[in-house]
Each structure stands twice: as C-alpha cells, then as structure tokens.
Structure 1
Amino acid sequence: MNFDALFAKTGNKVVRCGLVGIGDFGASLLAQAKHVPNLKIALICDRDPARMAESVAATGADTTEIVMVQDMDDADGVQLDVLVEATGNPATAAAVGEQAIDRGQHLVMVSKEAAIVVGPILHARASAKGLVYTEVEGDQPSLLIGLMSWARNIGLDIRAAGKSSEYDFVLGPDDSLTWRNQHHPNSGLTALWERNAMSWQELTDAREARAANLGLPTRTVPDFCEMGVVVNASGFTPDRPEFHTPILRPTELAEAFKRSADGGLLAGDRRIDVFNSLRRTDEASFAGGVFILVNGHDDKTWSLLRDKGHIVANDAGVAVLYNPQHLLGIEAPITILAAGLLGIPTGATHPKPVVDLVARTDRDFAAGERLAITDAHHHEVAGLKPELIPAVRFAAANPCPYYLATGAQLRQDVPAGTLITAGMLEVNMGTVLARLRGEQDQHFGVQ
C-alpha cells in the first residue's frame, strides 16, 4: 500500500489527538508524533503529573501547545478529533472510551484489557454515531487483523493465524538459554533443535517440559488477551481454550501448525494460536510478531517461493506469511490518521463477542483473597491461568471475564483447577466496564 496515495486527498488537515496514558506505548507515540506533520498531540492525560511532564520534556515538545490533565473530566473544552486510550487499566479505559465517543471523538483503543471485555459494544456505539473505534497499529491485534485482511483481498485462503509471544527463547552455542533477563545454562534445547523422528506433538511437549524445568512461562495473559480481540474481529477460534503455545523455530510453523490429521498440532481450520519463538543468538527476532498460514492453490508457485527462502511446507500445501515486529507507538500514527482523515479503522470492522478471556486457578484460593494484579507489566494475577472460551453472558453462574475478576475479592474457597465464575466474586458492579459488559451481552444476544 502506498500511504502517500492513501492520504493524498486529505490535504493539509491536521488531526488533533488526545493521549490518555503515558506509559511505554504513550511515550513512544508522543516521541513519534512530532515527526508527523498532520498529527498534533493536543492533550495528554495521566494520573502521574511527574511522568507526564518528564515524557513531554524528553521529546522536546512545546508545553504551551499541549494541555496536560490528570482527569479527562478536566478536558471537556479541548477540541479533539481522535482519542488514544493507552492506560492499560480496563475500568479506566472503558470509562474514557465511552466518554470519547459521547464527545464525538474517534476512539483508538490500545488497552486490550478493556477491548477483550467490551470492545464490540464500544465499536457498535461509535459506529452508531458515525465514528471510528479501532485497535492500533503497532500492537498485535491490528497488525494481525490487517495481515489477514490483506491475504483475503488477494484471494488467499487462511487456514490459521496467530502471534509469537513477547520474548524469544534464545539458544546459545553452549546450550544456554536466554529469556528476557534470565540466563540458564544447560537448557537441554540443543538436543531438541531438530525434530528428527519425533512427531510435532512429541517435540513440542519435550521442549515445553524443558522450559517448565527452567521455570519459564509459555503462556501469558497478554497473548491470550490480544488473540481474543482478533478472534472477536475475525471469527477464527482457538484450537483449545489454553492454546497450544508450542516452542517453535519460525521455520517450523508451516509444518507444525498443519492439521493433526496431516501430522501437525491443530484439530481444524480457521484457528488462532500463539507460539514461543526459539532462535539462535545470530538469528533475527520474531518476538511479538504475527503470522498467518495460507493454503497453497498452485504447487508450482509455492515450490518456487520455498526455493526462494519462504516458509512453505514440504508438500507446498501450506505457507507462512508474517510480520515479525510490532513497533508500539511508532506505528500508531497510521491508525490515528486513518481514523481522523479517512474515517476508517486499521483494526476490526465488525467485531462480535465470540470469546471471553477467563481465569482458571492453578492453586487453591481462600475466601477473602483478592485477585490483585501481581505482574504490572503483563497485567496478570499469579495463580490464575488464562483461557479463551465461547463468550457467555456476564452472570453469577458463568465464568467471569478476566478483567472483571481482577481486583475482586473471593466470596468462597476455590480449589486449583477451577474456572472462576462471577458468583464466586465480589465484583464491583458500579464501574463503566461492568455496565458496558451488560449492555454488550444484551446488544449481541449473548446467552
């Protein structure tokens, strides 16, 4: 796509944008925006005034041209075309998002924690007012939705789609393994670099066992949250609630994510999953990248592409197409300009509540315990495992959406292995998030 041509007819209009949340994503957007002539960050909102001032100063922005507030209620008089919600706090994001739509502003929802709970109803509300609600370029949901859209529009049949987890498993020449800031000698993964005579299930089980022995996670809540948003946008479904999340080399994707009937891991087609990228120290990262598997309609063409180095299955029947990076706020201006200048999303066009992100206990919990976020980076609670299940009405007997459960106190003891239901919790029903979820269930007829 030639983006100069895409925006050519919009003239010199400048999109006035508000940014709520000045964490890593917001700070990177603020820094990038000063290099985009037709984008102006006119307002920043963050509860931490020192962090807000520090971020603005770091970019060299003119503070006289940016309104800075700690509460969006104090920004009623600021004229904005687009609001970017990037707090990562689901309750705040839902309230800020609803307010933006009510004020006639396009909404860019970076906070996937709110999108997985109430994204479809916010989209419906925005559409009813002629506004855009969209996921953001620079984060995996929009990037994967875009990749799938591109493939469909050139006539490719998508068999599966997904993303890599946020951090690579990096294998050293001495069999050491590095993950984030952890370094483990004698990982045992060198012996599992090649599949040899093993099935894909046997190989990935063996690799996962090695990772578990080292205390390394292969499933994190953000991955499930992001892919849940893609499920709701695309209608593709998880192969199983806990995903497969295999540890794979990127070059193995085409074979490993075939149907199980053909020797792969997946039970069927139109599936969403996550993999953990295994690479050597001298290989490029795939961390946080997105991919699709497509059926090859022409064996001769795909065999030729395989010879050119593309990831194509041995029988040329399945190929992998991918975008191996996500650039946070650096890419976000494309979404903001598309909404503000063209009135179109870069994310979902007709999202529906297909799945819910829910929590299963992996330890015993006692009555009175609060499900407090223990990992601020991943926005997850220790002792709860994420799952994606078919969407159900928010009701006492049903599994509770993960981000309506967080922060709530347990009414009862809950043994390990139990799906947390809403009735087990003292859920704060006074939040905009809870109210919008009820509205979403009614709007879409969720049972």
Structure 2
Amino acid sequence: MTSLSTKLSELDKAGKPVQVGIIGAGKFGSMYISQSFRTPGIRLAGIADLSADRALASLKRTGYPEDKYDATAKLSVSEGIKAGKTAITTDSAALIATPEIDVILEVTGNPSAGIRHALLCCEHKKHIVMINVEADVLAGPLLARKAKEAGIIYSMAYGDQPALIAELVDWARTAGFEVVCAGKGTKHLPEYHYSTPDTVWNYYGFTKEQLDSGDFNPQMFNSFLDGTKSALEMAAVANGCDLSPPSNGLNFPPVGIWDLPQRLKPTSEGGQNEKNGTVEVVSCMETDGRWVFNHLRWGVYVVIKAPGEYQKECFKQYGLQTDESGWYAAQYKPYHLIGLELGVSVASIMVRGEPTGQTKTWAGDVVATAKRDLAVGEKLDGEGGFTVYGRLMPAEDSMSISGLPIGLAHGWVLKRAVKKDQRLSWDDIEFTESAQAVAVRKEMETIFKAEFKAQKINGVNGHA
C-alpha cells in the first residue's frame, strides 16, 4: 500500500487524474467529499443525488473549496471536468454514462438503487465501489460475477468495516495463518433488536447540536443499533472471505480486545464459536449495561492460530495477547474512518487493478425478522424501521426457508400474520417479480440453488 500515493502523484503530474463520480451525498458520501480534493491524482468529477440542494449543502458543510464546484448545478459532468469543477446532477444514470468517469462510488444505501447502478456500471464499463452493503448482500454474489464478465472491478469500500476485516483476513492468510474468526465491534444489547426510529436516539445519546447538523438519519442509525447493519456487514465478510456465519445468527458476545483469542475460538478448545473460520460481532456492552473493559466498539479484528510449537513460542516472545493455551492470538484495528478512507479503494482500483475486498461466493444472507407481531395487511418498512430487523444466516439455510432478504423487506404488504422474532419468507408477502431488484435476486437464488445442489452431490460422491 505504500506506493499508492506515489502512483497517484504520477498520474497528477501527467495530467491524467482519476475521475470519480459519487452517487449519494449523505453521511458516508459527505465524509468522502470532505477528503476528495486533498489527494493529488484524484478528482471528484460529479455528485449525483436526488436533491441537488442536498449535494450543495454537503459541499458547503464539509469545507469543499467554493472554486472547485459548480454552485449553479447547471454544468454537465463532462463540462465540469473541462472547467475543473465538480458537477452536480440528479441523474445518476447520466453520471455513470459520462465517458470521462473512471470509478463510481455507490453510497445511496438503497439496495434497489445499488443493483441498478451496478448493472449500469457493467453496461458503461465503469469500476464500482459498492459502499451500499445492503445491495452487496442482496445480490453482490451475482453482481460481482456480472462485473467480472463486463471487465470492470467491483469492490468493497475501504474505511468501511467489511473491507478492513477482509484486509486483516488477507494479511493472516498471506502470512500463513489459519483464520479462526474475524469481525468487528459494535454497541449492542439484546433489546436493541426491537429499537425503532422513535427510540434510537435514547440509546445513542447524541446531543441536540449533533442531531441538528443534518448528518443523522434516524432510520439509518437505527439499522446499526438493531443489529441489521452488523448482520449485513458480516454477511459481506463471509461472502468476501469465504468464512461461515454462525448457524443461529450473530451472538454479539461482550468481549474486550484482550479476550478475543480466548472467547472467539471453537467450543472444542474452550471458546464459544461453533468452529474455525467464522464471523462474529463483539459488543462493547455487558448484558447488564456496563462497558466492556478495553472494548472494540469502533474496530475490527481477526483471530489466528499458531500452526506449530515454533510459531506459538514466537507469539509469546513478541508479546502477543493470546488465549490461556498460547495457541490463539488476535490482531485488530481499533478504529475505522469510514468515508474519510474511501480514497484508498479508488487508488487501489486505478493504479493496481485490485479491489479492496470483493464478494467471492454466497456464504451468508440476511433475512428480515419481525420486531413485533405483524398482522395481515401491514406494510413492511425495511432496514432500521418499525417492523423488521435483519438476521444473519448461512445462505443455504436462507434458501431452505425461502427467506425474505432484508434488502427487499420494504413496501411489501403482508398476506400472512408473522410472530415476533419469526423470520419472514417470500410466501409471507405480496410482491411483484417484475421489479428489477427482485428479478436480480431471484436470478441469483436460482443460480446458487443449482450450485449448492451440485456441491452436495459432489461432496457425497467425493466421500463414496
């Protein structure tokens, strides 16, 4: 990674900066916008948002130089590039179709929009950083394949936790270690699953001044609190790193950094995980509400195992915090800077031709789960809302119950009553298969259903 800034500077000196288009000027998008003009060799060519005023407000709020953007929002993206100004548009398709654009950053958080934009990037041969984890989990295993067929790079977002976890997993495997468990920290208590946009701020404790800043969407923040976002991110990690979700969903154990190796090893070795090679989210809160000592609320981690006595002794010699046996150790990063670090993905794609994490298979899925008893005729309101939260499941288990993905649990009307904590299925809702996101998801389910079946047949034959 040490050469990225050097290579970007070379592009800048050659007058060939990377031209970036971003879709979505919310919190994550604003964080990238605030840094985008600070790296030689990268230019923010255009911002697409449903509201031009919101995009302009983001530029002003983040300190973007006034002489570097079109405050009239009238220039096309191509005209803006020629004028050396960031253009603003409400037409995301036009942004993607702009010939000069190299990389698209998809930051809408809307899974249907994410799928549409990814397919347009395939059509127009634009690399895409899918910051939209909702879309990535809903259809990423198929979108990544379509991107490869189109000759473009489909990447996770550096700065977001899945990409940082993928980096730690890659480090471990490259160094020759077995990955025992990988994941992140968060703030979670069991009752948070049932939080709604009306209760979210009571749990977070933000000040009125913070909430008035314009960066805080209650439903979006509630999706972090109720466990949905954690489930989505761990599904993305499982799919990108070929790791296994816990069979009964995330446990959110209260674990500090010193206890990671002891707690997050297999039960057969005195830990609490089902097996090696899993994902898990650790909470910074004890179940009684006390803060965990040396918690990892903002960070990411990987637990590894020494492959032999020699390496085990090296763990001890170099001061690694291990479990009581000395065989298991952890590496972690205590913080992540989200959109402020996103430029690393752009640089990696454009000067190395490599994604910063990428969906490889379909190992994990996130299924909509009732927050309360739901009646026939009720309308689902999606991630972070009042009706459902997302629960992580192995993808094959989700297929076996026809699980309704959380990314599509919005706007549909229930045709069957659902009990609290029950996982919803396609059979519970009235839906239309003609919607693009539904069609793409159904296409993916059909493909992987056949592949799962073939794997089982080959597995049986392999043991015969």
TM interval, short-chain normalised:
0.7 to 0.9
CA contact (8 A) 1:43 1:66 kept: yes
Deviation at 1:228, TM superposition (A): 0.2
Long gaps (5+) in structure 2: 71-84, 190-201, 208-223, 453-464
One-letter code aligned to 1:14: P
For the pair 1:72 / 2:92, whether they are aligned, the reply is: yes
Residue number in structure 1 paired with 2:439 = 435
TM-score w.r.t. the length of structure 1 is 0.81
For the pair 1:48 / 2:51, whether they are aligned, the reply is: yes
2:370 to 335, 352, 361: 361
One-letter code aligned to 1:380: G
Change (3 A) 1:293 1:407: same
For the pair 1:411 / 2:415, whether they are aligned, the reply is: yes
Percentage identity across aligned positions?
24
Change (3 A) 1:218 1:5: closer
CA distance in 2 between partners of 1:73 and 1:182 (Å): 36
CA distance in 1 between partners of 2:22 and 2:440 (Å): 22
Residue number in structure 2 paired with 1:63 = 69
Per-residue CA deviation, residues 336-387 of structure 1 (Å, 9 max, x unaligned), is 1111232211112x611222210232421101111114xxxxx323353432
CA distance in 2 between partners of 1:19 and 1:36 (Å): 16
SS in 2 for 1:238: coil
For the pair 1:99 / 2:123, whether they are aligned, the reply is: no
Q: How many aligned residue pairs are there? A: 400
CA contact (8 A) 1:357 1:388 kept: yes
Q: Which moved more, 1:86-95 or 1:55-64?
A: 55-64
Residue number in structure 2 paired with 1:81 = 102
CA contact (8 A) 1:395 1:423 kept: no
CA distance in 1 between partners of 2:376 and 2:404 (Å): 17
TM-score w.r.t. the length of structure 2 is 0.78
For the pair 1:143 / 2:164, whether they are aligned, the reply is: yes
Per-residue CA deviation, residues 312-335 of structure 1 (Å, 9 max, x unaligned), is 112111001111211111111110
CA distance in 2 between partners of 1:146 and 1:369 (Å): 42
Q: Write out aligned runs for 1:282-297 (5 A).
A: 286-297=296-307
CA contact (8 A) 1:141 1:226 kept: yes
CA distance in 2 between partners of 1:395 and 1:300 (Å): 44
Q: Write out aligned runs for 1:105-124 (5 A).
A: 105-124=126-145
1:21 to 4, 24, 46: 24
CA distance in 2 between partners of 1:256 and 1:272 (Å): 13
Per-residue CA deviation, residues 111-147 of structure 1 (Å, 9 max, x unaligned), is 0000001111111111112110010100011111111
CA contact (8 A) 2:188 2:225 kept: no
For the pair 1:180 / 2:204, whether they are aligned, the reply is: yes
CA contact (8 A) 2:4 2:347 kept: no
Q: Write out aligned runs for 1:362-381 (5 A).
A: 362-373=371-382, 379-381=383-385
Q: Write out aligned runs for 1:195-344 (5 A).
A: 220-278=227-285, 286-299=296-309, 302=312, 305-306=315-316, 309-344=319-354
Per-residue CA deviation, residues 378-437 of structure 1 (Å, 9 max, x unaligned), is x32335343222325998961111111222111121223422011111224333211221
CA distance in 2 between partners of 1:428 and 1:60 (Å): 46
SS in 1 for 2:231: helix
Long gaps (5+) in structure 1: 169-177, 184-216, 374-378
CA contact (8 A) 2:365 2:398 kept: no
Per-residue CA deviation, residues 263-289 of structure 1 (Å, 9 max, x unaligned), is 211121111111102599898762231
CA contact (8 A) 1:397 1:423 kept: no
Change (3 A) 1:7 1:386: same
Per-residue CA deviation, residues 248-301 of structure 1 (Å, 9 max, x unaligned), is 222111111122122211121111111102599898762231111100235565
- Greater share of helix: 2
CA distance in 1 between partners of 2:206 and 2:88 (Å): 38
One-letter code aligned to 1:276: S
